[in-house]
Amino acid sequence: MTQTDAGSIESVLKEDRVFEPAANFSESVGGAYINSLDQYHQLHKQSIEDPQGFWATIAEELDWSTKWSKVLEWNLPDAKWFVGGKTNICHNCIDRQINSGHGDQLALIWEGEPMPEGKPEVRNFSYNDLKREVCKFANVLKDQGVTKGDIVTIYMGMVPELTIAMLACARIGAVHSIIFGGFSAQAIVDRVVDANSKTIITCDGGYRRGKVVPLKDNVDDACTQLADSGHDLKSVIVLKRCENNINWTEGRDHWWDELVGNASDNCDCEPMDSEDMLFLLYTSGSTGKPKGIVHTTGGYMVYTYLTSKYVFNLVPNTDQVFWCTADIGWVTGHSYIVYGILPNRVPTLMYEGAPNFPAEDRFWDIVSRHKVTQFYTAPTAIRAFMKWGSEHPAKHDLSSLKLLGTVGEPINPEAWMWYRKMIGGERCPIVDTWWQTETGGHMITPLPGATPTVPGSCTLPFFGVDAAIVNDRGEEQPANVGGLLVIRKPWPAMLRGIYGDRERFIDTYFSRIKGMYFAGDGARRDERGYFWIMGRVDDVINVSGHRLGTMEVESALVSHEAVVEAAVVGMPHEIKGTGIAAFCTLEPHHVPNSDDEVAKLKEILRAHVGKEIGAIAKPDVIRFTDALPKTRSGKIMRRLLRDIASGSEDKTQDTSTLEDLSVLEKLRESEEG
Ligand code: WT7
């Protein structure tokens, strides 16, 4: 992808295989909601012309304790949806199903990672079970002094109690801030301080690929740093999962089981204003610390409910089992393991561990044992499955599958075709869903019974979404000319802000193109009107479908005493899609003297980044250099580094603004490691 001056982008990808929805898809899922492209276009038009009418009809499918007075109030950049309405998302996930007589139906299926004697631990929760557990834990939170509006930090593995904890927060009106269990102690500190959170819920450990991740140790490290900086943390609630040895701080630490033991299983849902905060979720930006994305109650609830229903075609009472393989620590898990799926009354499956434990066929074993019908995963995982070999899915009966989905990054057509053939048996539609932490739910996506799919394209905007490709001046681009992806109208699940940083909120999303939400992605539309995402246009890299700011990784590198300056760029990576390349200049006393020392220092720096941020941020390649290529004004020329890192260097690139040409020569010669 090359970007020209006005923000128009040249695209190189060409793909013309088209897959029409299979004739029997509708029948296979117990009736498709949207059955033709015409029907899609008609409804889409209606939803754009009369968003208030469209969304009111949908919102009425859910329970509200007080009805809204106005569907939308829009003062760019601030949206208010279902103004004056009161509801509770936990009620709509659980109580609503019980009240309509479905309390005994399966709500949540959980499978643990370990396979003692070849058998996994499976726990099933009906809506009644979930209600009991959620109410008990909600009362525990109240006993710990948590009240409406307090921010509760959750740092757990993929155990059912994670879902229970988030629903308990929602039930009493506390705001959850979930931190992915793969992040480090430092990441916990940053987020707890930013949110001024007083309560942390964690586990002793979490199972991952047969090992135990020391979650409580990480929380302890974070607590030490928090205490040093004067942060007043009230309590740490610890769920026993792995029985690994942990340290204990009397007065601060409490066992989940002991607290829950005496708790009542009766707890009313707090009526929440539609615009009350539901959760905070931190995500990376191009500069500074991660930003706390604010999501509120009513709009998010209605939007995740409808996208789940239409995009995955969820139908109650049809033996569907929905499985999203994401971790709840990411927005995908928030929206499509919990909040969008439960109100649709289709059981949601949650798996604790790695896809290759105890062997590379674990996912397919799960699909066949639980008769999964809709399966939602990431392109990075699909590329790993391809590499592991088709024999793994081939060993299992995957005939229960009716629909496949992807999310997180562009999927390469080769992986799409493999997914369709090897997992979907050429019968399942694939929904390639483009969205973001900030959008709360799917934004551009096929509808499985209606949209012909083309490998690599996320196709068309969802109802109510007015997406466009524009240049820097906000002018819509013609077909096949790349530009910036924007959303021109508010949608119910849109972020309501960056926690505590109004200016950054406006700067990041509403300043680059006047009057529109700017997503940060480059994209084009083809002659069909289909969208093709071309990647980020800021200093954000998408590693394995998750965003990292290059600045964050650079800050982590220079916080090591050996590194004076660092520049981090993305590079093509076979499995992850994008890998991380780091160029570092070293402090003279730390310059290694032998190949051995070079290798050792690279390992030390990788581990250091892992400690500062988490394993996901470890550079794939580190190069030491005497100097970084800079403009005369001192700006690092990342585009040159990107070319070097990807090995696709174009010697005709404009280097006229480069201060010292020899720097580039040296970098080209420097050996990769
Ligand atoms: C960024 C958002 C949404 C949950 C997972 C990631 C990229 C996401 C797709 C897709 C191409 C995609 C974009 C986006 N992205 N889905 N289907 N095709 N790119 O959430 O960490 O907020 O990242 O992921 O670049 O901006 P996130």
Check pocket membership of 521 for ligand 1, CB cut-off 6 A.
Answer: yes
Confidence grade of residue 650 (pLDDT, cut at 50, 70, 90): low
Whether 629 is covered by a domain: the verdict is yes
How high is the pLDDT of residue 13? 58
pLDDT, tens digit (0-9, with 9 covering 90-100), for 55-69: 999 999 999 999 999
Cα(94) to ligand 1 centroid in Å equals 29
Listing DSSP states for 122-184 in one string gives EEEEEHHHHHHHHHHHHHHHHHTT--TT-EEEEE--S-HHHHHHHHHHHHHTPEEEE--TTB-
- Closest ligand 1 atom to 411 CA: 18
Confidence grade of residue 656 (pLDDT, cut at 50, 70, 90): low
Sheet holding 175-178, edge to edge: 253-255, 235-239, 199-203, 151-155, 175-178, 277-283, 291-296, 497-498
pLDDT, tens digit (0-9, with 9 covering 90-100), for 567-605: 999 999 999 999 999 999 999 999 999 999 999 999 999
Q: Pick the residue whose CA is nearest to atom 8 on ligand 1.
A: 408
How high is the pLDDT of residue 6? 47
Q: Which of 9, 325, 382, 407 most suits a substitution to test ligand 1, by most atoms within 8 Å of the C-beta? A: 407
Token digits for 486?
Answer: 């924007």
Q: What average pLDDT does range 236-258 have in this prediction?
A: 98
Whether 595 is covered by a domain: the verdict is yes
Whether 606 is covered by a domain: the verdict is yes
Q: How far apart are CA 87 and CA 79, in angstroms?
A: 18
Cα(633) to ligand 1 centroid in Å equals 33
Cα(318) to ligand 1 centroid in Å equals 31
Whether 640 is covered by a domain: the verdict is yes
Check pocket membership of 434 for ligand 1, CB cut-off 6 A.
Answer: yes
Check pocket membership of 327 for ligand 1, CB cut-off 6 A.
Answer: no
How high is the pLDDT of residue 669? 64
Q: Pick the residue whose CA is nearest to atom 10 on ligand 1.
A: 434
- Closest ligand 1 atom to 445 CA: 17
Q: 427 Cβ partners below 8 Å, 6+ apart?
A: 22, 28, 402
How high is the pLDDT of residue 660? 61
How high is the pLDDT of residue 670? 58
- Closest ligand 1 atom to 438 CA: 22
Confidence grade of residue 661 (pLDDT, cut at 50, 70, 90): low
- Closest ligand 1 atom to 406 CA: 17
Q: Pick the residue whose CA is nearest to atom 23 on ligand 1.
A: 436
Cα(47) to ligand 1 centroid in Å equals 24
Whether 443 is covered by a domain: the verdict is no
Q: What average pLDDT does range 96-117 have in this prediction?
A: 98
CB 118 within 8 A of CB 141: no
How high is the pLDDT of residue 286? 84
Answer whether residue 651 shows pLDDT above 60: no
Q: What average pLDDT does range 233-243 have in this prediction?
A: 97
Q: Considering Cα of 654, then 657, then 662, then 667, what sign does the dihedral take?
A: negative
Q: What average pLDDT does range 383-411 have in this prediction?
A: 97
CB-facing half-sphere around the CA of 536: CA atoms within 13 A: 23
- Closest ligand 1 atom to 437 CA: 22
- What would you report as the CA-atom Rg of the chain, rounded to the nearest whole angstrom? 25
How high is the pLDDT of residue 262? 87
How high is the pLDDT of residue 1? 46
How high is the pLDDT of residue 97? 98
Q: Pick the residue whose CA is nearest to atom 2 on ligand 1.
A: 436
Q: How far apart are CA 137 and CA 151, in angstroms?
A: 16
Cα(435) to ligand 1 centroid in Å equals 5
> Pairing mode, if any, of strands 151-155 and 199-203?
parallel
How high is the pLDDT of residue 436? 98
Check pocket membership of 520 for ligand 1, CB cut-off 6 A.
Answer: yes
Cα(153) to ligand 1 centroid in Å equals 24
Which helix (H) or strand (E) segment is 215 a member of? helix 215-228
Cα(202) to ligand 1 centroid in Å equals 27
Check pocket membership of 345 for ligand 1, CB cut-off 6 A.
Answer: no
Show the 3-state SS of 258-315.
HHHHCCCCCCCCCCEECCCEEEEEEECCCCCCCEEEEEECHHHHHHHHHHHHHHCCCC
- Closest ligand 1 atom to 331 CA: 4
- Closest ligand 1 atom to 435 CA: 3
pLDDT, tens digit (0-9, with 9 covering 90-100), for 365-382: 999 999 999 999 999 999
Check pocket membership of 508 for ligand 1, CB cut-off 6 A.
Answer: no
Q: Which of 284, 291, 335, 409 most suits a substitution to test ligand 1, by most atoms within 8 Å of the C-beta? A: 409
Alpha helices (H) along 405-501? 413-418
Check pocket membership of 175 for ligand 1, CB cut-off 6 A.
Answer: no
The mean pLDDT of the chain is 94
Range of the domain at 655: 540-669
pLDDT, tens digit (0-9, with 9 covering 90-100), for 356-365: 999 999 999 9
Q: Which residue has the higher pLDDT, 37 or 649?
A: 37
Q: Pick the residue whose CA is nearest to atom 19 on ligand 1.
A: 409
Confidence grade of residue 12 (pLDDT, cut at 50, 70, 90): low
Whether 440 is covered by a domain: the verdict is no
Q: In terms of pTM, does the model score above 0.85?
A: yes
Compute CA 574 distance to the chain's CA centroid, rounded to the nearest angstrom. Answer: 21
Confidence grade of residue 637 (pLDDT, cut at 50, 70, 90): confident
Q: In the chain, helix, strand, coil percent, each to 5?
A: 35, 25, 40
Which of 29-33, 288-292, 436-440 has the least mean pLDDT? 288-292
Token digits for 27?
Answer: 């029948």
Q: Pick the residue whose CA is nearest to atom 13 on ligand 1.
A: 409
450-to-303, 431, 447, 459, 533 alpha-carbon distances in Å? 20, 11, 5, 11, 21
pLDDT, tens digit (0-9, with 9 covering 90-100), for 171-205: 999 999 999 999 999 999 999 999 999 999 999 99
Cα(407) to ligand 1 centroid in Å equals 6
Check pocket membership of 383 for ligand 1, CB cut-off 6 A.
Answer: no
Answer whether residue 655 shows pLDDT above 70: no
Which helix (H) or strand (E) segment is 189 a member of? helix 185-195
Q: Which of 382, 435, 451 most suits a substitution to test ligand 1, by most atoms within 8 Å of the C-beta? A: 435
Give the DSSP letter of residue 336: I
Whether 283 is covered by a domain: the verdict is no
Show the 3-state SS of 411-438.
CCHHHHHHHHHHHCCCCCCEEEEECCHH
Q: Pick the residue whose CA is nearest to atom 3 on ligand 1.
A: 436
Check pocket membership of 407 for ligand 1, CB cut-off 6 A.
Answer: yes
- Closest ligand 1 atom to 533 CA: 11
Check pocket membership of 459 for ligand 1, CB cut-off 6 A.
Answer: no
Cα(431) to ligand 1 centroid in Å equals 14
Check pocket membership of 638 for ligand 1, CB cut-off 6 A.
Answer: no
- Closest ligand 1 atom to 458 CA: 17
Whether 339 is covered by a domain: the verdict is no
Q: How far apart are CA 527 and CA 410, in angstroms?
A: 19
Q: 208 Cβ partners below 8 Å, 6+ apart?
A: 113, 157, 353, 354
Q: How many domains does the chain have?
A: 1
CATH number for the domain including 621? Answer: 3.30.300.30
185-to-130, 180, 192, 207, 268 alpha-carbon distances in Å? 31, 11, 11, 18, 35
Cα(662) to ligand 1 centroid in Å equals 38
